Structure 1
Amino acid sequence: MRSPLFSLRGLKPAFALLMNLLALSLSGMALLSSHWCWGTQKVPKPHCTQNKTSRCIPVPGVSHPLEVQLSWETGDDRFIFPSFHTGLWLSCEENIHSETGEENCRSFIALTPHSEKGMIWLSLVSEVVSIALLSLSCVLLLAQLSVSGLYAGSSVSGLRLSSFSAVFTVLSGLLGMVAHMMYTQVFQVTASLGPEDWKPHSWDFSWAFYLAWASFTCCMASGISTLNDYTKTVIMKRGGAKPEEGEEPGGRIADFYQPAPPPSLPCLSTLSPYYQPPRSPPPPPELYSELREAVLQRETSQEQEGIPQSSGDDEEEEGELL
């Protein structure tokens, strides 16, 4: 028995499973990452110490006095722009008091304004439910491939599993899309109304945000592919086509094409080009013999009376009688 993974029918659920696994991995990476948005902050320079000698304000006794004068005479030179990156859970900022590039992380949920707490939690729940539905869809696709491989004739069970998998995949993609849009709105409000020590000077979306949208694209590709395969198979089965022995339904379209039956004559209008007037049934053979006898008797009576008649007229009258 040939495995469905190496047949045309098996490639479609295998492709959907591959897209689901890719979307699941991208969603998981995006959910756990803290790189949805990144940018810079504008903060005053810290004072120089023995451990901090760059990007700081020189202090008399620690640095040369001339450096102190030059630093205070310039305007924006008193500020530095440390970088930060934020995700669904954490917001990490560059530690300006360290030379080793350490980061200070804190909860992004604690930074959001009170009016946006409900929306950020709803975004998180939507992301988790989206991943759960996508995982369930992967399990159903694996079950479909297993059933199709072990039992070649169980096409009904495979169709049901395929339909449920497509529904869960589409729902997962839609929930993920809503969650991404809600997080974008929450971050914009937090950037405007958040704590003063966190407000970004400039920001943009980072790689995890694009991974989340790539996961949405894979979900839609998998769901549409599965729904297309399921719909085509159901339409072919309802068309009355019987699959060959050892072959699942849903082969080539030309194998199941049946032309429409010709319309019945009473339903056609007389103006239709397909209209044909009904033909009268031929007369029975007994009527031919009776008409011929009548013509012969008439000819005999005319000959006895002496009335001449041409053979053409006789044939014409006989044709009219017939």
Structure 2
Amino acid sequence: MKTRSLLSVSLNFFALFCAITAFITTYWCVGTQRVPKPKCSKLRTHQCIDYGVNETDPNKVVYSWETGDDRFLFRQFHTGIWFSCEENIHDESERCRSFIDLAPASEKGMLWLSLVSEMLYILLLMVGFSLMCMELIHTSNVIDGLKLNAFAAVFTVLSGLLGMVAHVMYTQVFQVTVSHGPPDWRPYNWDYGWSFCLAWASFTCCMGASVTTLNSYTKTVIEFRHKRKTFEQTIREENAREAYGYFRDNSLHSISKSVDIYSSQSLNSGRRTPIPAASLDFVDFAASLGEEQC
């Protein structure tokens, strides 16, 4: 019982840690964006387009031998639930923008629903973790422990379902934003990042914790019912044994009295009928007495 409880608490804690980490980080999706190369300058001499002319002379014809993908840079970007950050091509810093502002208007409602579901997922995970810790510490009353276990399992299952819905909705919103988002943001190629993997690892641990908690609750209830049934059966057997002993002693006592009365009557009538003690059958006497009473 303790081993299962510790396993449930550990899985729930890991799920909560992964969920919070994924929620506040911006590596759900990573990739590259294709942007035009800037003009070369004194400060920037590489990864740029050099026109080879004096920019102060407007009469000069500008030629560029850069063609195709040579005219573009591929900058790295990473996106989370809240923000999308891309590499700044002019320096080594990053520029971050709100992903809510980047999402198309048709997908903003689903994105907000995903955010609310993600926050509820984390909140219910916290509630389930607290109940599991209380159940682990509270060992004085088995019934109270079972109630805490049951509520913890329910909250954990609900949180897992909300987390799954939130992750799926965010994935759909991101895919739509890739196709219909702002032109200066659309990725050239992209893939899921480590934050996305943490989010689904959190969901997996959450469902594992809920299954373990339900299994522990079911096992405890079955054992409790089996012990109660065995105890009731033992009590019934002891009562039946005591009742059998009581009736057997009373029957033997009444039969012995009947034999004494019958013997005294035979002596009074003048007939001597020897009755060996070893040949007395108390069952026959009881039956004969029952017939005479009838």
Answering whether residue 128 of structure 2 is matched by residue 141 of structure 1, we say no
Report the equivalent of 1:51. Answer: 43
The one-letter code sitting in structure 1 at the alignment partner of 2:219 is K
Secondary structure (helix, strand or coil) at the match of 1:81 reads strand
Please give the alpha-carbon distance, in whole angstroms, between the structure 2 residues aligned to 1:18 and 1:76: 50
| Contact 1:49–1:62, Cα closer than 8 Å, also in 2 | no
Percentage identity across aligned positions? 55
Give the aligned partner of residue 87 of structure 1.
80
Aligned residue in 2 for 1:174: 161
Which structure features the higher share of helix residues? 2
* Residue 75 of structure 1: how far off its partner (Å): 2.5
C-alpha contact 1:20 1:219 (8 A) present in aligned 2: yes
Q: Secondary structure at the match of 1:52?
A: coil
1:111 is the counterpart of 2:102: yes
Q: 2:208 aligns with which of 221, 236, 243?
A: 221
TM-score (norm 1): 0.67
Match of 1:24 in 2: 16
Question: How far 1:198 sits from its partner (Å)?
Answer: 0.5
Q: 2:121 aligns with which of 130, 147, 152?
A: 130
- SS of corresponding position for 2:97: strand
SS in 1 for 2:138: helix
- Is this contact kept in 2: 1:85–1:92, CA < 8 A? yes
Cα distance in structure 1, aligned partners of 2:167 and 2:17? 16
The answer to whether 1:164 aligns with 2:151 is yes
**Which blocks of at least 5 consecutive residues in structure 1 are unaligned?**
1-8, 243-254, 259-283, 287-322
- 1:236-255 aligned within 5 A: 236-241=223-228
Question: 1 CA distance for matches of 2:82 and 2:10?
Answer: 28
Contact 2:49 2:66 in 1 (8 A): no
Distance 2:44 2:228 in 1: 80
Per the TM alignment, residue 171 of structure 1 is displaced from its structure 2 partner at its CA by: 0.9
User: Contact between 1:34 and 1:89, CA under 8 Å: does it hold in 2?
Assistant: yes
Matching of residues 1-322 of structure 1 within 5 Å? 9-60=1-52, 72-98=65-91, 101-148=92-139, 151=140, 154-241=141-228
Deviations 1:40-99 (A, max 9, x none): 111111111222222111143689xxxx96x5243221111111100000000111122x
Q: CA RMSD in A?
A: 2.2
TM-score (normalizing by structure 2): 0.73
Greater relative contact order (CA < 8 Å, ≥ 6 in sequence): 2
Structure 2 residue runs without a partner (length 5+):
56-61, 234-282, 286-294
- Whole-Å Cα distance in 2 between the matches of residues 146 and 13 of structure 1? 10
What is the rounded CA distance, in whole Å, between the counterparts of 1:75 and 1:125 in structure 2? 44
Aligned residues of 1:48 and 1:62 also touching (Cα < 8 A): no
Q: Which amino acid aligns with 1:155?
A: V
Equivalent residue letter for 1:142: C
Distance in 2 between residues matched to 1:183 and 1:113, nearest whole Å: 13
CA contact (8 A) 2:131 2:148 kept: yes
